[in-house]
Amino acid sequence: MSKRFLQIGLAGVLVSMAALSLAAESEIVWPQEWTVFGPIPSQTAGTALYGRPRKEDLLAGEALKSIPQQLEVGGQTYQGQPLRVEQAVIDLARTLGCGAGGTGAYLLAPLTAPADTTVQIGAGADWWMHWWVDGQPVYDTLGNGHTGNGTTPITGRDHSFTVRLTQGRHVLAVAVFGYRQFLFAVTSPRQMREQPLTFRQTLDAGRRKYLPPHWSIAADFAAARRDFEGALALAATETEQAEARLAVAESFLLDAQNLAEADAPAIRQQCSTVLELKGARAEQQAQAALFAGQAWLLENRGDRARAEFSRAGELGRRPDWKETVQLALARAHAQDKDDAAARAILTQLLAAPSLDRLLRFHARSLLAALEVAPRLRPDHPRLFFHADRWPAVQARIERDGEGLQRLQRLVRGLPDDPEVRDWGAELMRAALVQRVTGEASLLVKIRKLLRATIDHYLLLQDFNSHVETRIGCAAALDWTWNDLPPAERAGLAHDLLRYACGRHVQDALYGAGRVDHDPYYYSGNMHWYVGLTVLDPGLSETDYLRALTVLGRGYDNNVVASFGHRMEMMKDRGGVTRADYNFEDLPTPAWTFLHCWRSAVGTIPGEWEFASGFAPSYALRYMLGFKPGYYRHFGHAHSWRPRDGWQSEHRLYDNLGQFIYFFAKSQPEEAAIAGYLRQQMGKGGSVGTGSYPIYPYVLDLSQAPPPRLPDGLPLARHYPVNGLVLMSSGFDPAATYVLYSCGGGRGEHLDTGHFTIFQRGYLALDSGTRALDEYADPSSGENYDKQSVAHNTVLIRMPGETMKGVTHPTLELQANSGGQRQLPSSARVLAFQSERLFAYAATDARPTYHPDKCAQMVRQFLFLTPDHFVVFDRVTAQRADYPKTWLLHTGNEPAVTGREFRADQEQGRIFCRTLYPPDAVLEKVGGPGKEFWADGRNWPIPVQSPYLRNLGLQDASDVAENMGRWRVEVKPGAARTEDAFLHLIQVSDETVQKMADSQVRETGEQIELTFTVGARTYSVALNRTGDVGGHLRITEDEQALFDQDLTGQVQSQTNLALIK
């Protein structure tokens, strides 16, 4: 019999019920209508910002014994809504008009049992559920931590439990908490009875348990194995039997954290049966031989393993099978410490040009481990310092009496009998203090904390965890290695290793992209440090291979994926990612790797100078000020933009020091800039110590060059990789700082041509905030924050244009605001020029717009230092009735007078005069309830956003000035296909009352703008048609300071692009 299977993407709830003891005539009837109470916001549900619901936060069962008209949850009253079950699915997100992620609801329904009976309920939920019958809890997935439902797509058979019902009326209640979608579905008892799972469905149910919806959620291999065993019982042919047996065997091997020598016989038993089945396919028998060989490796029988691998090679014929077997052979040689044989096989494998990416990663990382392992120091410690360097580190700690006392105070309160949780951060501090003081009692605590922490890791309940605590745990084990009892030390090392190896194997199940990548600051970056710590001659053979595996992955993730990518991007010394991360979290994993490479391996290769993705010269141009505990920057694109732009200082000061420490000799000018910035941050009180308590004591800055800015820094710098031009009249607090999105490089928002101007305040700004892109409800972020309408760009509105989300490409946008549809990488940079008196850039943005609406969109951006800008746009729409709109966003309400406006922010003031088109009409848009206005409605920060406090906002309506609360829209007075927008912008402090006078005239095919500031006169002639270009003349006291055509080329730059 077949079962119609209902699959619901990544989320939902399916519920099914089968009566065990009632005949069809008298079976209970599953309710077709439920009463739903919600939506319960994530803060109340406890699911905000990586949280999960807790049993103690649920309603008491007493409130769920009957179906009331309303329920009170978290101080909020929710009216019950009757919902009919249609097509077996209730879409709670749509019906309740809410987002999905983290949102909760209670659903209640009546149930009548004709007689005493026992029923079996099957259910699944995205991502958590808790069931009651008559107010008594009967089943939940809350106790699974973030593992929750444990499998996707969600089905009504993901979980099952039995309930004893007495004759009469009962009340079913279920609390459901969403993760991505928010669905509730019901399958009747009759369907469950008449449509049992088939062999294939049972097998697929097990395989789904391998791939939870988030990388950090643990796969349930034991539950998968039970499904495979169930499928085996349903197998109708020897081919199906072979498939089920292989799945059982593989479930043991994939469960690397729990895999032990004792599992080998069970694995081989399944494999030997498959090899004997006449109906098994050759590929199945080849797989059986491969698994059997892996089982022999568990018992350290390399000879038997290699024999089975050779057999597997002879049986298999599928693509990449030969290479799969060769990799297994190489691993067998590596476990036997026959490095030469392993290297020979791996080298040959890597020479194949079309090798599968995952196989290539495994081969490359194992070969790297075999090459690095012999270079490791044989003694401990190895992380951050070694025995020879420890005396100098200890001396720095002892000289810092205040810092040492602070560390001692922090560790003094550590418990004698710690609970099982992650103590990684505390462990690093404790182990550091213990090495300095030698306190025996503290060592006792450290031993217990290590065990409690590693036991916690083995529970696999952390969600989206970062690497810092894992490194802290590894460092504590490394630093106390010589003081631990050998058996205890071996047990800790073994368990930490099996945790890391287990996570590695599960990551590989997601495909090559989950292991062959830069893990940034997430827990996946732990492997290098675990490998460095535990690799030891005393390891068992199987643990030795595991240690090589994690060491190789760690090396590859850092050196190949991270360093390789960042060094390519840093050829122009720009930024490799979002500013909020580029200056804070992103460099830290690189510094950590470099420290531990130096302490465990040796000299740092010279080509790793910018492998951190961090260049002090880029930070210099991006920083806008410092104050105690904070700094601020442009807040471009996908930025949080906390109130007034002030970002908490945690790691920038340390990142600058790390660069000096590692590269002062090879990059003295960059190091001098880093010193200058640290000096300014020190004066402003914006000083942090970095991610690890050891950092201040391993940094030796005695060889740092004097802090200074090199002579000849250009007015502007073009960064082709991320498609930005950064300009500044100087680097003091009163300077004018400019960001121009010239395109041609990486970008995350549809903002080609956007410009941000800062002068004592955010004057022309990038509006919105990353908080609009709330994970539970990305609609505001996608419809506003990432769109061109949120930036200082030009809109061309074509009726009926539809677009998809930028970050959520399956999301159909509701707003048609007339903006771009391709990221800045599609644009072309036409010109860049930086001179002493001005900087100039030109961009062809036409490829970023829909071709059916835009025939031309060229922006020329001219910065006339220190305070004036000319912005010229040549815009041609495909139809005259496609309206064009020029935008400039401000923090506060602009004062518009005719074709000129001004606006203030903090102590700064911006003036803007529209010179073209001659019939331009100016309109201001914004204010309370219209801050993020697009296509006729506001796209506000979600009220349930968990980020409000971090952004300094009282609530979602408390929009900060630097998020852009107003904008001015400039539109032609009449419909036409071609228009030119010409604007003169002036910035100043608030004491300046009016902008400079200007004159504009048409001369042939050019528009000429002239204005005078003090003794200096500027004349800018710009081509209205034909080639993009123009002429600039700057005079002072009747002497020409500059009198040339604007370039049509992109000026070349090297290193700091110093002007000699």
Q: Please report the pLDDT score of residue 1057 as a whole number.
A: 84
Whether 19 has a pLDDT exceeding 70, the answer reads no
Give the separation between CA 656 and CA 662, rounded to whole angstroms.
Answer: 10
Start-to-end CA span in the chain (Å): 83
What Cα–Cα distance (Å) separates residue 219 from each residue in 146, 207, 547, 653? Answer: 11, 10, 22, 40
Which pLDDT score, from 0 to 100, does residue 7 have? 29
Got the DSSP string for 275-300?
Answer: HH-TTS-HHHHHHHHHHHHHHHHHTT
* Least-confidence region, from 93-107, 258-272, 402-416: 93-107
d(CA 301, CA 297): 5
pLDDT at 944 over 80: no
Distance of CA 201 to the CA centre of its chain: 34
pLDDT at 776: 57
What span, in angstroms and rounded, lies between the C-alpha atoms of 1035 and 1047?
19
Distances (CA, A) of 339 to 296, 303, 306, 336: 19, 15, 15, 8
Strands, E assignment, 729-801: 737-740, 755-758, 762-764, 794-796
List Cβ<8 Å contacts ≥24 apart for 61-70. Answer: 61/132, 61/135, 61/136, 61/137, 62/135, 63/135, 64/106, 64/108, 64/132, 64/135, 64/171, 64/173, 65/134, 65/135, 65/171, 66/171, 67/35, 67/108, 67/109, 67/110, 67/171, 70/37
Partners of 476 in the beta sheet?
A: none
State residue 83's pLDDT score: 85
Instruction: Please indicate whether residue 211 or residue 88 has the higher confidence score (pLDDT).
Output: 211
At 718 the three-state DSSP class reads strand
Residue 860's beta-bridge partner residues? 842, 872
Least confident of 80-84, 121-125, 259-263, 876-880: 121-125
Pick the closest to residue 796 from 871, 850, 756, 842 (CA basis).
850
Residue 99 — pLDDT band, cuts 50, 70, 90?
low
Query: What are the distances in angstroms from CA 37 to CA 30, 80, 107, 189, 845?
Result: 20, 5, 6, 25, 49
Q: Given a cut of 80, is residue 188 above it in pLDDT?
A: no
Q: Which residue has the tokens 């809410």?
A: 98
Residue 81: beta bridge partners?
36
For the chain, percent helix, then strand, then coil, each to nearest 5?
Answer: 35, 25, 40
Cα–Cα distance for residue pair 489/507, rounded to 1 Å: 27
Higher pLDDT: 27 or 808? It is 808
With beta carbons less than 8 A apart as the criterion, state whether 784 and 790 touch.
Answer: yes
The β-bridge relationship of strands 183-187 and 14-19 is: parallel
pLDDT tens digits, 656-704:
999 999 999 999 999 999 999 999 999 999 998 899 999 999 999 999 9
Most confident of 67-76, 387-396, 566-575: 387-396
Q: What is the CATH number of domain 716-996?
A: 2.70.98.70
Residue of 157, 142, 139, 292 whose CA lies nearest to 223: 157
The reported pLDDT for the residue numbered 947 is 87
For residues 544-568, give the mean pLDDT: 96
Give the span between the Cα atoms of 1017 and 1035, in whole angstroms: 5
**Structure tokens of 142?**
């809350």
Q: Kindly compute the dihedral angle of the four CA atoms of residues 983, 988, 989, 990, in this order, to the nearest 10 degrees.
A: -30
Asked if pLDDT for residue 46 goes beyond 80, the answer is: no
Averaged over 5-33, what is the pLDDT? 47
Mean pLDDT of 473-477: 98
Q: Tens digit of pLDDT for each residue in 719-754?
A: 999 999 999 999 999 999 999 999 999 899 999 999
Residue type, 864: L
Q: Which of 148-152, 173-177, 190-194, 919-923 has the highest mean pLDDT?
A: 919-923
Q: How many CA atoms lie within 13 Å of 150's alpha carbon, on the beta-carbon side?
A: 24
Tokens of 851: 């071709």
- 633: which 2 tokens? 């920057």
Using alpha carbons, select from 528, 419, 529, 418 the residue that is nearest to residue 472: 529
Chain mean pLDDT for the chain: 92
In this prediction, residue 88 carries a pLDDT of 63
Residue 578 has a CB neighbour count (10 Å cut-off) of 18
Higher pLDDT, 621 or 121: 621
- Can you give the pLDDT at residue 26? 55
532, 596 in Cβ contact below 8 A?
A: yes
Give percent above pLDDT 70 in the chain. Answer: 96
Cis peptide before 939 (omega within 30 of 0): no
- Round to whole Å and give the CA distance between 126 and 969: 44
How far is Cα 344 from Cα 327, in angstroms, rounded to an integer?
11
Which residue type is seen at 586? L
Per-residue pLDDT tens digits for 769-805: 999 886 656 788 999 999 999 999 999 999 999 999 9
Q: Is the entire prediction scored with pTM above 0.85?
A: yes
Q: Does the structure show a pLDDT above 80 at 220? A: yes
Beta strands in 928-1029 (DSSP E): 933-934, 937-938, 966-971, 978-989, 998-1003, 1006-1013, 1016-1023
Residues 29-54 have a mean pLDDT of: 80
Kindly list the domain boundaries of the chain, sorted by start residue. Answer: 14-196, 716-996
Q: State pLDDT tens for residues 108-166.
A: 999 999 999 888 888 888 888 999 999 999 999 888 778 888 888 888 888 888 889 99
The predicted-structure confidence for 53-78, as pLDDT tens digits, reads as follows 888 889 999 999 999 999 999 889 99
Quote the CA–CA distance of 1055 and 201 in Å, as a whole number.
60
C-alpha to C-alpha distance for 443 and 96, rounded to whole angstroms: 55
For helices 264-276 and 282-298, the axis angle rounded to 10 degrees is: 160
Contact in structure between 1050 and 831 (CB atoms under 8 Å): yes
pLDDT of residue 773: 80
CATH topology of domain 14-196: Jelly Rolls (2.60.120)
At 523-552, the pLDDT tens digits run: 999 999 999 999 999 999 999 999 999 999
- What pLDDT was estimated at residue 265? 97
**Higher pLDDT residue, 885 or 92?**
885
Residue 762's CB is within 10 A of a number of other CB atoms, namely: 31
Determine how many CB atoms are found less than 10 A away from the CB of residue 26.
12
Q: How far apart are CA 306 and CA 310, in angstroms?
A: 6
Q: How far apart are CA 548 and CA 532, in angstroms?
A: 9
E strand segments, 20-116? 33-40, 70-73, 76-79, 81-84, 89-91, 104-113
Contacts made by residues 346-354, CB under 8 angstroms, sequence distance 24+: 346/370, 349/323, 352/323
15 pLDDT higher than 80: no
Phi, psi of 547 (to 5 degrees): -65, -40
In this structure, what token pair is assigned to residue 222?
């034991």
C-alpha to C-alpha distance for 271 and 260, rounded to whole angstroms: 17
Average pLDDT for 28-35: 85
List the single range of 167-181, 822-836, 977-991 with lowest mean pLDDT: 167-181
For residues 613-630, give the mean pLDDT.
96
Residue from 526, 405, 545 nearest 477 by CA:
526
Beta pairing partners, 937: 934
Under the banding of pLDDT at 50, 70 and 90, the label for residue 891 is very high
pLDDT at position 101: 66
For 753: left if phi > 0, alpha if psi spans -120 to 50, otherwise beta; the answer is left
Cα 820 from Cα 375, distance rounded (Å): 53
